[in-house]
Amino acid sequence: MYELAQLVIIGAIIAIFIITFRGKGESTLYSIVAATIAVIVTAFSSPDFVSAFEYIFTLVNVKPLIILLCLSIIIGVVEQQTIFEYFAVRIIRMTKNNVRLLFYLICLLAAFFSGFLEDVSVAMIFIPLIIRTAQMLVIDAVPFITGISFSIIAGNLLTSFASPSNILISELLGVNTTWFFSTFFWLFVIILVITLLLLDLRQVRHIKVLDPARVRILIEIFDSKTLIASKRKFIINLAFLIGTFVAIITIPAPLYIVLIVAVLVICGTQAESLGKYLKKADWNLILFILAIFMISACLAISGLLDGLSALFSAAIGTDVILAVVLIIGVCALLASFFSKTAAIIIFSTIITDLPIYAMYKEILVMALVVGVVLGGNMIPQASSHLLKTLSISREKHIDKVSQRMLTKNSVAFITIAIVAGLMYTLAFLYL
């Protein structure tokens, strides 16, 4: 009955893969069109077109989309007061001419911010600042750019709202920020320490500031107080930001409800209307995730998803170690070369269908996080913040930062992260 629909769905998936991998043109629009065609053909393959069409959209989970929209609005409001830039500049002033201290502190701050702020925004704050600092001190900016870029990926392990991937995993598999932080904090530390130490030993420790007078000039230029246009608004929005994150962690209510209330409160305190912030939201990401949800609903109705789950279950049986290895490996490849969203939606269904899920839920979800959040960044095209880093570096004429260099470094970092994540997850199995 669904043979034609299955072919169309596979065609839509291939089309979305090509569109997103090339990254040109109206990729979001084309993805929505491909998903819509898959939905229509799947619905028409059913005896009752109307009922099937309605059922497809009952399978589309809108809560993660609401969470993404609310977080986008909240961060958009808070960023107007340059709160994140303020703390970045304070780090630069505090370290003065100690290059290695600057390297470690700026990377740690970037990692921490990436647990609360969207990756591209973190890159847009830190990369231009560190490039400008390096130019003033006449030192090589590349080790700092590399360290910041991969610290951002490591920081995504800290909270359930650190990235769209975390939000999806949180909603689909019922894990929260407390679980993310308590489960992955030491993996975050391990990966960050290994990465920063390797960069320090190979590149950073050889960097010296030759002219101390330039440090004084730098400190005079980077006056963090000048970033605060209104001290009152700065304090209010900083307090609101902290209060929102505390509420997310402590209030025993669905995350999307907490964030809806937070948006209404913060927008009510601003001079601008809610409509202004809605226009600035990342609708491309939200609509792309909607397209993946539509495709996933078609996969479920047509039986393709059940077939994938059956194959995976047959291959794994009751071997939890094999399950962890396959989930991490397949998710890393699928997330890197196709879509993190698709990897999460498909594998959240597959792992819940495994016969060992009830006994090893935490281990299987950990494997999914390691595979997608860490492993799904093998190439710059898979990481929006790496692409933004490349764009900023080109604008600032940092010629050493190229597509080839980022790809080489990404493969090395992700290999370290996957190996560490695999060993860490298996260690949890025996604790």
Distance separating alpha carbons of residues 106 and 161, to the nearest angstrom: 22
Q: SS3 for 95?
A: helix
> Which domain, by its residues, includes 42?
1-58+282-302
Nearest to 87 by CA among 62, 106, 60: 106
Number of domains in the chain: 2
Write phi, then psi, for 340 (nearest 5 degrees). Answer: -60, -40
For the packed helices 177-202 and 142-155, what is the interaxial angle rounded to 10 degrees? 160
Distance separating alpha carbons of residues 24 and 407, to the nearest angstrom: 19
* Residues 16 and 87 reside in one and the same domain: no
Residue 246 CB neighbour total at 10 angstroms = 10
Average pLDDT for 117-133: 84
| Residue 79 confidence (pLDDT) above 70 | no
| Residue 370 confidence (pLDDT) above 90 | yes
Average pLDDT for 335-339: 86
Q: What is the pLDDT of residues 40-55, one digit of tens each?
A: 988 888 877 878 788 8
Does residue 45 contact residue 5 with C-beta atoms inside 8 Å?
yes
* Residues 44 and 138 reside in one and the same domain: no
Average pLDDT for 64-71: 85
In a domain, 388, yes or no: no
Q: What is the pLDDT of residues 208-219, one digit of tens each?
A: 876 666 666 666
* Residues 248 and 147 reside in one and the same domain: yes
* Residues 192 and 48 reside in one and the same domain: no
* Residues 209 and 180 reside in one and the same domain: yes
Distance spanning both ends of the chain, measured CA to CA: 48
Distance separating alpha carbons of residues 149 and 111, to the nearest angstrom: 9
* Residues 227 and 194 reside in one and the same domain: yes
